[in-house]
Each structure stands twice: as C-alpha cells, then as structure tokens.
Amino acid sequence: MIDYYQMFLIAMAGIALFFYIQHAGKPMKRNKWKFLIVVFLFYLLNYLFLKFI
C-alpha cells in the first residue's frame, strides 16, 4: 500500500531528477554526486518511515 508520505517522496525525487536532466548540459562532478546523495536520502527516508511506522 502506498501512503501519502511515500507518494510525496517519489514526487520530490522525480522533480529533482527532472531538473537535474534539464541542467545536464553543464554537469560538474561535485554537483552530480551531491544530487545522487540527495536522491538516495529521499529513498532512505522513505524506507525507514515505512519500516518503523
């Protein structure tokens, strides 16, 4: 079952991916890793929330 919190996190990660792809013409390695870490944290928070609540 997908709850609203999970839908919110997936939507935020999707929006972040969209903006990252829009600006991918001028990527910097540091920004790329920061972005990947942020997306990973979104999904980690989602997993922990669903597991413990």
Please list the alpha-helical segments (H only) found in the chain. Answer: 4-22, 29-52
Of 44, 52, 49, 51, the residue nearest 5 (C-alpha): 49
Residue pLDDT, tens place only, 1-46: 667 777 787 787 778 777 777 776 565 666 677 777 777 887 787 7
- Residue 31's pLDDT is what? 67
User: Residue 30 is part of which domain span?
Assistant: 4-52
Q: How many residues does the chain have?
A: 53
Confidence check: pLDDT of 47 > 60: yes
DSSP assignment letter at 28: -
Domain count, the chain: 1
- Residue 27's pLDDT is what? 57
- Residue 25's pLDDT is what? 59
- Residue 18's pLDDT is what? 79
- Residue 35's pLDDT is what? 73
